[in-house]
Amino acid sequence: MAPPPRVLWIYPAALLLYSLLLFLSPCRALRNYPENEVTLLDSMSALADLGWEAYPNEGWEEISVMDERNTPMRTYQVCNVMEANQNNWLRTRHISREGAQRVYIEIKFTLRDCNSLPGVPGTCKETFNMYYYESNNANLWFIKESQYVKIDTIAADESFTQVDVGDRVMKLNTEVRDISNLSKKGFYLAFQDLGACIALVSVRVFYKKCPLTVLNLAQFPDTITGGDTALVEVHGACVNASEEFEAPKMYCSADGGWLVPIGRCVCKPGFEENKDVCQPCRPGTYKASATDAYCTKCPPHSSSPQEQAGECVCEKSFYRAETDPRSMACTPSIIPSVATIPDAHAQPSPITTRSSDAFLPLGGLIRKVPGPAGRPPGAHCLAKA
């Protein structure tokens, strides 16, 4: 007796096309991923056939449909539910891990409810298995089943029935799994069907990172998360025109978020903070110390004609001592009068006397004494005895 015909799919071709366009086109338009996720593989973005390895040949089948923009979309499906002892494998190309120790696999798929398929034997399944194989070789053409490491058995949250087919309703399931502690250059993913009716709509492989950020004037680079739940310590670098006040560091968490900021940088003299950068002080302002928060107006009788001033220069005839704080106003110079000391080599000036002056002895010296008013002309000199 001839074997029962193989069920290639549970939709008529036109209905399959309609359903895929109905559900996948919006997904394609909205596939903007979070900034902390780096995609390694996305089957929805493929412009040509995926070319994944399927064996045996009568198992998984690649199907291409066109969206409303005439862009092809690639999917894989298998539905050999009428035959027992199914073991159908689908293997991706080599996926480079790009230094990530932990990667995530997001799959979108539909799965048919076995009870809704008339005449199907009890071997019909509603699950499939997902595996991976690490390798430095990007050109392996064959991998033994025993070499794969099982990730998980995947079951649908919602399976669809003949009623859904009649109503043109596709119940799309999304599952995410992860692989940790990867160490080789890359890996292969594999999907094993044991007798289910599945459409593998999309496969996306990605890893998480803590994205580049600036906090407290310190820049922290893109950082790949660790291989497990441990935090990764990252040291920040002060942005331009800033210097360390306390060594800045943060921790990159397993889900791609920054945690526990410690330390900070401060703007150098002549610069002030503005939206995570240090900008020069404007003319007419200054900042003398890195620990000062902002540029301030020049004190009285001083100016800073150029930007980026660490202090203001006193106006002409105004001064500030070196020991004075830069915030002190400049003041005019006050120089006291001092006696003039005659030069020892200068010639003595002649003594001019009035006729009424008299000279009296004083300690061996001659002292000039003014004469009384109205005294007749003449000089009275008393010499030293």
**Could you tell me the sign of the dihedral formed by the alpha carbons of 86, 87, 92, 96, in that order?**
positive
8 Å CB contact between 209 and 223: yes
Tally of CB atoms within 10 A around 93:
15
Model confidence pLDDT, tens digit, residues 122-158? 888 999 999 999 999 999 988 999 999 999 999 998 8
DSSP secondary structure letters along 145-190: GGG-EEEEEEE-SS-B-HHHHHTT----EEEEEEE----SSEEEEE
The domains of the chain, with CATH numbers, are 13-207 (2.60.120.260), 210-323 (2.60.40.1770)
pLDDT band with cut points at 50, 70 and 90 for residue 64: confident
Residues forming a β-bridge with 220: 213
Task: Report the length, in residues, of the chain.
Answer: 385
pLDDT band at 31 (very low <50, low <70, confident <90, very high): low
Write out the two tokens for 84.
């027992």
Q: Which residues contact 137 (CB under 8 A, 6 or more apart)?
A: 94
pLDDT of residue 72: 75
d(CA 185, CA 150) in angstroms, rounded, equals 19
CB 43 within 8 A of CB 203: yes
pLDDT digit string, tens, across residues 71-102: 777 899 999 988 889 999 999 999 999 999 99
Residue 259's contacts (CB-CB under 8 Å, 6 or more residues apart) are 231, 250, 251, 252, 253
Residue corresponding to tokens 């990172």 = 209
The pLDDT of residue 318 is above 80: yes
The residue whose two tokens read 């950020």 is 213
Alpha carbon 258 to chain centroid, angstroms: 10
Report the DSSP pairing between strands 127-135 and 149-155.
antiparallel
User: Which of 73-77, 103-107, 118-122 ranks highest by mean pLDDT?
Assistant: 103-107
| DSSP-derived 3-state class of residue 60 | coil
Look at residue 53 and give its three-state secondary structure. strand
Q: Can you tell me the mean pLDDT for 342-356?
A: 50
DSSP state of 26: H
Question: Residue 133 has which token pair?
Answer: 């194989």
C-alpha pair distances (Å), 378 with each of 352, 353, 367, 370, 382: 14, 11, 16, 12, 13
Which residues lie across from 359 on neighbouring strands? 368, 381
User: Around Cβ 319, how many Cβ atoms within 10 Å?
Assistant: 13
Which of 191, 185, 187, 168 lies closest to 77, judged by CA? 191
- 313 CB contacts (<8 Å, ≥6 apart)? 302, 303, 304
